[in-house]
């Protein structure tokens, strides 16, 4: 598992936990979700050659 994928998963988990446990803070931490999506896109673009057979 790539370090970028792990970072994206951690960011998503932190965002979800903050959204569930602290709803008011979840709105403030919404940029974490955007960051996770950006990290996942970079991971998919840079590691795309690993998916080839």
| CA-to-CA dists, residue 29 to 5, 6, 15, 19, 42, angstroms | 19, 19, 6, 8, 21
Domain hosting residue 13, numbered range: 1-26
Q: What is the pLDDT of residue 50?
A: 61
Determine, yes or no, domain membership for 12. Answer: yes
Q: What is the pLDDT of residue 48?
A: 60
Q: Mind listing the pLDDT tens digit for each residue in 2-51?
A: 787 788 888 888 878 877 777 776 666 677 778 878 888 888 888 766 65
Determine, yes or no, domain membership for 15. Answer: yes
Determine, yes or no, domain membership for 31. Answer: no
Determine, yes or no, domain membership for 46. Answer: no
3 state SS of 24: helix
Q: What is the pLDDT of residue 12?
A: 81
Q: What is the pLDDT of residue 53?
A: 45
Q: Could you give the CA distance from residue 6 to residue 28 in angstroms, rounded to a whole number?
A: 22
Residue found by looking up tokens 């950006």 in the block? 38
Q: What is the pTM of this model?
A: 0.53
Q: Could you give the CA distance from residue 33 to residue 31 in angstroms, rounded to a whole number?
A: 5
Determine, yes or no, domain membership for 38. Answer: no
Residue found by looking up tokens 């709105």 in the block? 27
Q: What is the pLDDT of residue 25?
A: 67
> How many independent structural domains does the chain possess?
1
């Amino acid at each position: 598992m790539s370090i970028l994928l792990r970072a994206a998963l951690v960011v998503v988990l932190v965002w979800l936990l903050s959204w569930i446990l602290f709803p008011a803070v979840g709105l403030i931490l919404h940029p974490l979700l955007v960051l996770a999506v950006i990290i996942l896109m970079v991971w998919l673009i840079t590691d795309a050659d690993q998916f080839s057979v």
